[in-house]
């Protein structure tokens, strides 16, 4: 159901009323189109729900509070109808979100790293625990301040088991070899950059020389840096894998957004409010697929193969030979066949001028000179070089 039109008024409504009405209609219409389509997904539903609750409803409240008593009498029924429809759309989006969540249980984007694996060897007793060597090596590096009891608790192994593992792989912490002079220079450099910073920031600078590496004092932090806390948090709680990582927010706003006009899609392009049986289901919900289809008309050629190096020759001797032969061909005035430069060839053109349409109406012409002294000399040299190059083993260039 569409939103009702603004009630009539003796004089035009203020411009801000028309602007707010347009924004509310765009948000509501986009949400309804998405609800009627079959391509609902959590990210898209969240976009539309947030727009309704954080933009459309506050705009209705602002219109109500800023209206004069006379205008409020005219707008009262319109405001109630719009608020009811926006609220119903928000409730439907909530239902869709809950259904999608129920369908996606067990398919979370949070990846929890496997720090310890169990090796069942078919013998009596507890299975053998294989600890992730790479993680322990990172946790015990000199740039971190993670205590062994905390690390053993995270890995769910005893301190004795962890200590044996550390000694077995030679992961004991050791101080970096550095001279007093170099240490003084590092401290001097830090104090020049951060003259007001204290000892803890200096320790973080010496450990990692990056931001958020200074130890934080407190009963719960145990002198760990933000970088240390982040590593432990990712190990215990997991890492969120963003399916839209690397996609510019403007692209997401264009394909998932709710403002502006509805996208006009080309033939066989699927979107909210359009038939969705023209394309493969595997490509319907892909934002990459939508971008590719929108840009299909702008790309009319295959990708050009990029050269692997800055020269097509295998060695310097071939390069010198090429220029020697080319010089002889140019001196002898040899024009190779197959480049449309000789009379009798299919696309040979004797015209020395070309007329191009110009202007907004494309009714005017400009004459461009194609005189032989300029263009034929250049095209002939290019053809001579290409012909000579064909006699060398230049395929390694690509």
| Spans of all domains in the chain | 1-106+248-267+284-300, 131-239, 316-397
Nearest to 211 by CA among 223, 194, 195: 194
Residue 397 has pLDDT above 50, yes or no: no
Determine the pLDDT at residue 45.
86
SS3 of residue 111 by DSSP: strand
The percent helix, strand, coil of the chain (3-state, each to 5) is: 50, 5, 45
Nearest to 355 by CA among 335, 369, 345: 369
* Integer Cα distance of 281 and 284 in angstroms: 5
* Integer Cα distance of 153 and 157 in angstroms: 7
Question: What does the pLDDT look like over 273-331, one tens digit per residue?
Answer: 444 444 444 444 455 666 677 766 666 667 677 766 677 777 888 888 888 898 898 88
Alpha-carbon dihedral sign for residues 391, 393, 394, 398: positive
SS3 of residue 367 by DSSP: strand
Determine the pLDDT at residue 396.
42
pLDDT band at residue 84, thresholds of 50, 70 and 90?
Answer: very high
Locate 329 and state its tokens. Answer: 């061909």
Locate 120 and state its tokens. Answer: 């069942």
Question: 331 or 358: whose pLDDT is higher?
Answer: 331
Q: How far is CA 10 from CA 7, 49, 76, 116, in A?
A: 10, 35, 16, 75
How many of the other CB atoms lie within 10 Å of CB of 297? Answer: 8
SS3 of residue 116 by DSSP: strand
Question: What does the pLDDT look like over 334-357, one tens digit per residue?
Answer: 888 888 777 776 555 556 667 777
* Averaged pLDDT for residues 380-385: 88
Q: What are phi and psi of 240, to 5 degrees?
A: -80, 125
* Integer Cα distance of 319 and 311 in angstroms: 9
Q: What are phi and psi of 216, to 5 degrees?
A: -110, 125
* Integer Cα distance of 67 and 60 in angstroms: 11
Question: What does the pLDDT look like over 115-140, one tens digit per residue?
Answer: 888 877 767 767 788 889 998 888 88
> Per-residue DSSP letters for 213-249?
-S---STTTTT--HHHHHHHHHHHH-EE--TTTT--H
Percent of the residues in the chain that have a pLDDT greater than 70, as a whole number? 71
Lowest model confidence (mean pLDDT) among 70-79, 84-93, 108-117: 108-117
Question: What does the pLDDT look like over 26-46, one tens digit per residue?
Answer: 899 888 888 887 767 777 888
Determine the pLDDT at residue 230.
84
* Averaged pLDDT for residues 46-71: 89
């Amino acid at each position: 159901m569409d939103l009702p039109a603004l009630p009539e008024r003796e004089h035009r409504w203020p411009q801000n009323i028309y602007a707010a009405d347009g924004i509310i209609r765009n948000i509501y219409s986009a949400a309804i189109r998405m609800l009627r389509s079959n391509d609902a997904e959590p990210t898209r539903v969240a976009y539309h729900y947030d727009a309704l609750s954080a933009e459309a409803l506050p705009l209705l409240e602002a219109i109500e509070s800023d209206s004069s008593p006379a205008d409020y009498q005219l707008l009262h029924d319109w405001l109630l109808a719009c608020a009811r429809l926006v609220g119903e759309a928000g409730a439907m989006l909530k239902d869709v979100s809950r259904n999608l969540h129920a369908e996606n249980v067990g398919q979370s984007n949070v990846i929890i790293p496997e720090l310890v694996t169990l090796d069942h060897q078919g013998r009596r007793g507890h299975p053998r625990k294989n600890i992730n060597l790479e993680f322990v090596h990172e946790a015990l590096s000199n740039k971190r301040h993670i205590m062994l009891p905390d690390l053993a608790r995270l890995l769910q192994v005893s301190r004795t088991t962890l200590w044996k593992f550390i000694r077995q792989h030679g992961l004991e912490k050791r101080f970096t070899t550095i001279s007093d002079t170099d240490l003084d220079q590092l401290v001097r450099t830090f104090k020049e950059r951060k003259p007001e910073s204290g000892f803890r920031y200096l320790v973080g600078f010496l450990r990692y020389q990056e931001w958020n590496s200074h130890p934080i004092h407190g009963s719960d932090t145990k002198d760990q840096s933000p970088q240390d806390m982040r590593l432990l948090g990712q190990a215990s709680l997991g890492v969120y894998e963003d399916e839209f990582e690397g996609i510019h927010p403007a692209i997401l706003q264009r394909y998932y957004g709710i403002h502006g006009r509805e996208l006009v899609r080309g033939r066989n392009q699927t979107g909210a409010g359009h038939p969705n049986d023209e394309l493969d289901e595997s490509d319907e919900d892909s934002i990459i697929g939508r971008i590719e289809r929108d840009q299909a008309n702008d790309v009319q050629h295959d990708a050009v193969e990029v050269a692997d190096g800055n020269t097509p020759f295998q060695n310097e001797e071939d390069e010198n030979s090429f220029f020697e032969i080319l010089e002889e061909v140019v001196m002898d005035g040899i024009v190779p066949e197959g480049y449309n430069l000789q009379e009798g060839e299919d696309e040979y053109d004797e015209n020395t001028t070309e007329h191009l349409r110009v202007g907004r109406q494309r009714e005017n012409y400009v004459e461009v000179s194609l005189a032989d002294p300029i263009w034929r000399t250049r095209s002939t040299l290019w053809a001579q070089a290409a012909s000579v190059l064909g006699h060398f083993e230049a395929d390694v260039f690509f």
